[in-house]
Amino acid sequence: MDSITAEISQLEISPSSRSYAKQYHNIVSYACEIRRQSPSKAELDVTKALAGPFITGGLLVILLEPLQTHPWLEGSKAKCATLSALEEGISVSSGGKLSLCNHVSVLDLRPFICKELNNNIGDHQREKLLALVLEAINAKMPDVTLCMGNVSTLYPSYHYHIEHKLTRVKEPRRALMDHKDHLSDEFRKRNTWIYAMHPSRSVNHNPNDLEMRLELLESIHGACKQLDPGIVRPLPSIVANHLGQGIELFNPSDNGKDGWVKTLLCVLVNLCLRPPYQLPDSCLMANSMFRLERWHQDYFDHILKHSDTIGKEDKRIAATLVPLLRRLNMCFKSTSWYTYTYEIDWEKFTRALADGLTVLEDVCGSLGKNRFSSNARGVYIESSPTKITTDTLEARRIYFAAHGSLGACGVPKH
């Protein structure tokens, strides 16, 4: 990045360039000229969709370069960790009022030139492409520019104030801050610069670092707030509902008629996903099926082995229930980069639950005999235990006493 900084320090920006669409077209034309193989139609279409809307003002996000293996054929909604984390961060921060393709422009510092291609072009070509990018930035005249590159953390980053991060940014700050003088006076008066880590540093390289993920969300939130303070939710309230403070469950089969189903899912999702002492690391990865972590195994093993604190009946119940929980645990899919939000694979879930009805009936019956006992954790039914079948399941109301380990977990949202 130092070489890029040195290269663009000599570039001049024409104050007369005011058409963002025209300048973007110039970038595309020149990129096609210097690449050995022209970009595919899919890459051209997706890059254009991200660069829009082609109007002045608004929020502009500057990234470094496209990924060589980006799935262009999947369109602008492709499974790309960087873009999906950016998209969700913008949506979460703005309360759904802003989206990546409709309201926010995204432009690479080296558009159409991935890292591998950048090594194969000459210095003059690289300088000219960078000049065209700066012309486009100047023409866009954004109200807020969010520059996302590599950062160096100088002190603990768990805070809510975006301005604290300015001293930590190494790039693209050095590639852009040093060239404000080349931009028009109107641009400099209108635009607010915000510098932050590249999303990939968190979601790809440090996927289990909660503080880094929060810092990424902070920077995106700060950009949205600078753009329009009226549309953003306060960051502390976002954090209170995200990054481990609560589990949210999407149940596509819930028709609102069977309230007990929600209660059942509340307890099962806590048992499967959230021991009271910590949260799963892997659920920070969006669009990935949840898998048992080492501490999950420890948690289940603890349930089975803490014979010093529970009676024989409770130990038998644990030994019966844990295998079912292990199976149910595989039915939840994380759907968010910033929230503990899960989607149920409803077919797998109902199959596992149907196979485990006898187990649940046995547990309900055992705990129902002494629901006010000292352990006070678990399940009971309002009538005497009978065999629960598919036909009678909806007619039965199952109550869960959320005490003990469940109470410590809290109740997930629906």
Is-contact 401 380, C-beta < 8 A? yes
Residues 402, 266 share a domain: yes
What CATH number is given to the structural domain containing 7? Answer: 3.40.470
- pLDDT tens for 184-197 read 777 777 888 888 88
Residue with the two structure tokens 């639950």: 353
Domain with 263, as residue range(s), is 247-409
Is residue 414 in some structural domain? no
Residues 191, 80 share a domain: yes
Is residue 359 in some structural domain? yes
Residues 236, 176 share a domain: yes
Average pLDDT over residues 109-134: 82
Whether the predicted model's global pTM rises above the 0.85 cut: no
Residues 99, 25 share a domain: yes
How far is 25 from 3, CA to CA, in rounded Å? 26
Residues 385, 297 share a domain: yes
Average pLDDT over residues 304-324: 64
| Domain count along the chain | 2
Q: How far is CA 411 from CA 134, 345, 368, 408, in A?
A: 50, 20, 21, 9
Residues 181, 141 share a domain: yes
Is residue 273 in some structural domain? yes
Give the residue with greater pLDDT, 12 vs 308: 308
Is-contact 108 66, C-beta < 8 A? yes
List the single range of 46-60, 97-111, 323-337 with lowest mean pLDDT. Answer: 323-337
Residue ending a domain, among 240, 267, 284, is: 240
Residues 72, 56 share a domain: yes
Instruction: For residue 381, give every residue at least 6 positions away whose Cβ sits within 8 Å of its Cβ, in sequence order, or none.
Output: 364, 365, 368, 396, 397, 398, 399
Is residue 11 in some structural domain? yes
Is-contact 28 112, C-beta < 8 A? yes
Residues 263, 321 share a domain: yes
Q: Which of 350, 345, 348, 344 is nearest to 390 (CA)?
A: 350
Residues 196, 132 share a domain: yes
For residue 108, the surrounding DSSP H or E stretch is strand 104-108
Residues 206, 102 share a domain: yes
Residues 311, 280 share a domain: yes
Residues 236, 269 share a domain: no
Q: Predicted confidence band at 59 (pLDDT cuts at 50, 70, 90)?
A: very high
**What is the DSSP track for 309-368?**
TS-HHHHHHHHHHHHHHHHHHTTEEE--SSSEEEEE-HHHHHHHHHHTHHHHHHHHHHHH
